[in-house]
Amino acid sequence: MAIQVSDKVRKIVCRVLGVESFAQIQEQDFEAFDTDHDVDRSKVARYAHRNRGSVRLNAGKFYTAQEHAARIRRAKQQDLPG
């Protein structure tokens, strides 16, 4: 599905992310979590009234990048039955 945004939004996004074209953004791989710039639950709660999205996010019921990495480590260490 194509992303449809105005030219002004494209220019702003490209400038903020430091890329030459909007196509470069669409081709990037965004799977890696950055634990240096993690989400702060208190900040999410402070701005929850502005968010009309997920109730789980507004309530702070989400994993931070560090919690996600720790959960993956624990899952990989478990022995499977067999």
pTM, rounded to two decimals: 0.43
DSSP string, 7-53: HHHHHHHHHHHT-S-HHHHHHS------GGG---HHHHHHTGGG--S
Question: Quick check: is 56 in a domain?
Answer: yes
Q: How far is CA 42 from the centre of its chain?
A: 17
- What's the confidence (pLDDT) of residue 64? 82
The domain total for the chain is 2
Question: Quick check: is 82 in a domain?
Answer: no
Residue with tokens 């400038």: 15
Question: Quick check: is 36 in a domain?
Answer: no
pLDDT band, residue 3 (cuts 50/70/90) = low
22 and 45 both lie in a single domain: no
Question: Quick check: is 64 in a domain?
Answer: yes
- What's the confidence (pLDDT) of residue 9? 86
Q: Which tokens in the block code for residue 12?
A: 């702003």
Domain that holds residue 25: 1-31
For the CA atoms of 36, 42, 44, 48, what is the dihedral angle to 10 degrees? Answer: 180
- What's the confidence (pLDDT) of residue 4? 78
